[in-house]
A = this chain, B = another copy of it.
Amino acid sequence: MAVQESSDLESFAQNQVQSDQDHLPLVLVHRLPSFDIPLTPLLQSHFIVLDPHHSSHSPPNSFLYSQAQSVRALVVYGPCPLTADTIRLLPSLELVVATSAGVDHIDVSECRLRGITVTNAGDAFSEDVADYAVALLVGVLRRLTAADRYVRSGLWRLNVEYPLGSKIGGKRVGIVGLGRIGSEVAKRLMAFGCSIAYNSRKKKPSVPYPYFANVYDLATNSDVLVVCCALTSATHHIISREVMKALGKEGVLINVGRGALVDEKELFQFLTRGEIGGAGLDVFENEPDVPRELFTLDNVVLSPHKAVLTPESLESVFQLVLANLKAFFSNKPLMSVVHQE
């Protein structure tokens, strides 16, 4: 049966290659079977696209082996983990194109060791993520999702007590990671009358907002923390128990980065014990698992890791992926290269 599958695969691949009258370059898609984005048709106009999950008959690993020797460019769809083991199966690999902004699911160190360039979504998602961070912030402070539940559950008609929200203007917002997303968040919140401060690896000389060299001090001086930095070994659990304590009982935490930037277990305890004011979370440590105890809390807004997803930003990232692949195969400079620390 393995032999049959293998020959199916070979004929599948052969057919693909034979249809290539223009000798288009080969691009391999790396994705989880359950995760697909409508990028493939666009790529197919310019490349021979090999997707191990495309045919339901294809056992992905055998297929990967069969194509492994010649693949120079790999596109990683969404959050699909790219491990050192997989990278080692692709001896000709020179380029990894991620469709996401964060690349914590990709073994970037292994890529560096092998001289493989990694590109990400660059700024394609920045505005959408920033919009969503602000949506979560106003959602928590002005109780938008709680208000909607209150109406839909019929409590308004019953005149059940409705707690006040909190004014956005005047809030001191600390941004953890002032890259393009953080800067867009700051721009929007300035228009609401918030004051902005930030933490990042280094002080940014061109930025007018106060800088805090560590997140603890930023939290101490903030009413709201917006976490939008990259997840690396240095930023893992950067929002620790101590930082939450510094943020305080009325403090609000917004996370649009990655779940593991926050010590989630501690956060849930802080929330359920009322030791933090509220949270707006688009990301979690073990997605799609969200601790059920959060489902009863009105001061929490929960979202299924969708801060990046609008048709407009998808189209924008698709064009960026295409541009990077085209540049690569014509030896032109790449855009949105991930610079490793």
User: Across the interface, which residues of B come within 8 angstroms of A147, CB to CB?
Assistant: 302-304, 306
Closest to A315 in B: B167
Give A136 to B145 CA distance when docked, in angstroms: 10
User: Across the interface, which residues of B come within 8 angstroms of A167, CB to CB?
Assistant: 127-128, 131, 310-313
Whether B191 and A289, one on each chain, are in contact in the complex, defined by CB atoms closer than 8 angstroms, is no
User: Across the interface, which residues of B come within 8 angstroms of A131, CB to CB?
Assistant: 138, 142, 167-169, 192
User: Across the interface, which residues of B come within 8 angstroms of A34, CB to CB?
Assistant: 159
User: Across the interface, which residues of B come within 8 angstroms of A312, CB to CB?
Assistant: 166-167, 169-170
Whether B295 and A152, one on each chain, are in contact in the complex, defined by CB atoms closer than 8 angstroms, is yes
Whether B304 and A162, one on each chain, are in contact in the complex, defined by CB atoms closer than 8 angstroms, is yes
Interface size for A (C-beta < 8 A) is 52
Give A158 to B303 CA distance when docked, in angstroms: 14
Whether B156 and A288, one on each chain, are in contact in the complex, defined by CB atoms closer than 8 angstroms, is yes
Residues 136-177 of A at the B interface (beta carbon under 8 Å): 136, 138-139, 142-145, 147-148, 150-152, 156-157, 159, 162, 164-170
Q: How would residues 294 to 310 of chain A score, 1 for a CB under 8 Å from any chain B CB and 0 otherwise? A: 01000001111010011
> Which residue of B138, B190, B193 is within 8 Å of A138 (Cβ)?
B138
Q: How would residues 99 to 141 of chain A score, 1 for a CB under 8 Å from any chain B CB and 0 otherwise? A: 0000000000000000000000000000110011011101100
Closest to A35 in B: B159
- Complex A-B: 24 CB contacts under 8 Å: A34-B159, A127-B167, A131-B167, A131-B169, A132-B138, A132-B142, A135-B135, A139-B144, A143-B306, A144-B144, A144-B303, A147-B302, A148-B302, A150-B304, A151-B295, A152-B295, A152-B302, A156-B290, A164-B311, A165-B309, A166-B310, A167-B312, A169-B312, A188-B191
Which residues of A are interface residues toward B (Cβ below 8 A)?
34, 127-128, 131-132, 134-136, 138-139, 142-145, 147-148, 150-152, 156-157, 159, 162, 164-170, 187-188, 190-193, 287-290, 295, 301-304, 306, 309-314
